[in-house]
Amino acid sequence: MSPKISDEEKQQRRQQIIQAAMEVFKKKGYEPATMRDIVEETGMSRGWVYLYFSSKEEIFRAMVDALDEQNDQHVQRLLEETGSVWEALNVILTIQEQELEGNMDPMVPVLYEYFVGGWREETRRAYLMERYEKQSKRIHSFFQEGIKRGEFQPELDIDLIAKFIFGYMEGLLVHAQVLGGKNLRVKEQMNFLRRNLYDLLHVQPK
């Protein structure tokens, strides 16, 4: 009989597989990477890895969920540390600006490879739509917190504003990958975005 392992150990092994897959995707990209690459990176047996995940795509989606959870935790910490939704938003935009100027997370191009490269696949396109809606709702909730605290008094639908900022940033990230951040006049574009958000959200002076 196989030895029983605790739920905590199962979770640790699952995270180990996800982390190993992330390293493989960073090195090779999504399409060239294989389950064999991931198994070798984990240091586990093939059977152990397949016990948790049946395919490279299943691991990738679990990794995306884990990254989203980390981002949610980061945003929550920012809100607690700054005590202001507008200040937290500016910190997030500054981080995005730094990435656009050359400090890009190596997972960003892998995410675009997966989503853009697979747009013809119905299941992947459906997953992209699901993720788009989730991300828009995250931004919507963030803005809603600003309204709740009396920092924002937008005249436009915040769902529309959320989709605007999401689409704007996605466009910049794609162009930064293809053209390089230096060609985008990043600082000017990000300042333009800040000014527009300040007006759209109707930020209230303290």
Judge whether 151 lies within some domain.
yes
Judge whether 185 lies within some domain.
yes
Mean pLDDT of 19-46: 96
**65 lies in the same domain as 47:** no
What local confidence, expressed as pLDDT, does residue 105 receive?
A: 84
Digit-coded pLDDT (tens) for 115-134: 888 778 898 889 989 988 99
Digit-coded pLDDT (tens) for 70-90: 999 999 999 999 999 999 999
Domain that holds residue 107: 56-200
**7 lies in the same domain as 91:** no
Judge whether 66 lies within some domain.
yes
What local confidence, expressed as pLDDT, does residue 183 receive?
A: 79
Task: Please tell me the total count of domains within the chain.
Answer: 2
**141 lies in the same domain as 187:** yes
For residue 1, name the pLDDT band (cuts at 50, 70, 90): very low
CATH code of the domain in which 89 resides: 1.10.357.10
**39 lies in the same domain as 115:** no
What local confidence, expressed as pLDDT, does residue 152 receive?
A: 97
**31 lies in the same domain as 121:** no
Top-confidence residue, 116 or 110: 110
What local confidence, expressed as pLDDT, does residue 182 receive?
A: 76
Judge whether 205 lies within some domain.
no
Nearest to 132 by CA among 101, 78, 103, 169: 169
Digit-coded pLDDT (tens) for 155-191: 999 999 999 998 999 889 888 888 877 778 999 999 9
Mean pLDDT of 32-47: 96
Judge whether 196 lies within some domain.
yes
Average pLDDT, the chain: 91
